[in-house]
């Protein structure tokens, strides 16, 4: 995928994940884009693990298609949850 496609996928997946996930996440467009791109990698890795049984860090399945966006959104939701855990433990 080209860099422009990654940016578009990141914005879409990050924005959808922030809208779905309850609570306030903060951040602007850049953090939403980074969240979506990280989500694409997390979602692609989990998708590959479930499909093949091997752990590979990849964004397979995460493209500018409906299934790819769904995988990226699910990964971005996981990323939001993990980020919340990290922030909560560092504030304690």
pLDDT, tens digit, 9 for 90 and up, residues 39-85: 888 888 888 888 888 887 766 555 678 888 888 888 888 888 888 88
pTM of the model: 0.78
Q: How many CA atoms lie within 13 A of 18 on its CB side?
A: 18
**What is the C-alpha separation between 36 and 59, in angstroms, rounded?**
12
Contact between 37 and 4 (Cβ < 8 Å): no
Q: Give start and end residues of each alpha helix (H) in the chain.
A: 3-20, 29-52, 66-91
């Amino acid at each position: 995928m080209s860099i422009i496609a990654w940016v578009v996928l990141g914005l879409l997946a990050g924005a959808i994940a922030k809208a779905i996930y309850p609570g306030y996440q903060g951040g602007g467009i850049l953090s939403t884009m980074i969240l979506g791109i990280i989500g694409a990698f997390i979602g692609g890795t989990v998708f590959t693990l479930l499909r093949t049984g091997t752990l590979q860090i990849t964004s397979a399945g995460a493209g500018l298609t409906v299934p790819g966006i769904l995988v990226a959104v699910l990964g971005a939701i996981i990323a939001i949850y993990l980020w919340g855990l990290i922030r909560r433990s560092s504030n304690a």
